[in-house]
Amino acid sequence: MVLPLAGGRQASQIIGLLNCGGSAGLLLFGVVPRNHTLMEYEPKYKWQETWPGEVGLDGKPLQDFQGSDGETPIGRIRLEEAGPMKGKWQWSGHGPRKVKRHLPHQGYSMTAREAARMAEEYYDTLLANNDLRKQ
């Protein structure tokens, strides 16, 4: 995707979209200039298939993963197969039960790695906001 920027410049990739809800709509962040090499995010937590062996609408393995910090679920990412967000990765943040949640807790990203980063950041912020940060 190429986006026009101020001054006639163009951006080649949107790194993420957050669904802010209400009148705020979608918040765009992390636009990467054309011909710019982006270091790929390296996930901090363990990610595995949500349903190993299941196939999607196209007969290919489902692109659906869940992250964990030990026994605690930290989030889920999945590739949208259809609809207006087709080709985008949906992320949702999870965490320990019985804690104060914060928003946004879900959104869309252009890559699986970026979606994992968003879910992991949600989880880390959730821990920090509830004084549960690991030492």
Q: What is the pLDDT of residues 90-109, one digit of tens each?
A: 999 999 988 899 899 999 99
| pLDDT value of residue 99 | 85
Residue 22: predicted pLDDT = 36
**CA count, 13 A, side-chain hemisphere, 33:** 6
With 0-12 CB in 10 A as exposed, 13-18 as middle and 19+ as buried, what is 38? Answer: middle
pTM, to two decimals: 0.69
Between 69 and 97, the higher pLDDT residue: 69
Reported as a single tens digit per residue, the pLDDT across 3-26 is 333 444 433 333 443 333 333 333
Tell me what pLDDT residue 57 has. 80
pLDDT over 50 (residue 56): yes
pLDDT at 18: 38
Tokens found for residue 115: 């979606």
The torsion angles phi and psi of 124, rounded to 5 degrees, stand at -60, -40
pLDDT score recorded for residue 93: 96
Cα distance between residue 122 and residue 128, in whole Å: 10
pLDDT in tens, 36-50: 455 788 999 999 999
Q: Is the pLDDT of residue 31 over 90?
A: no
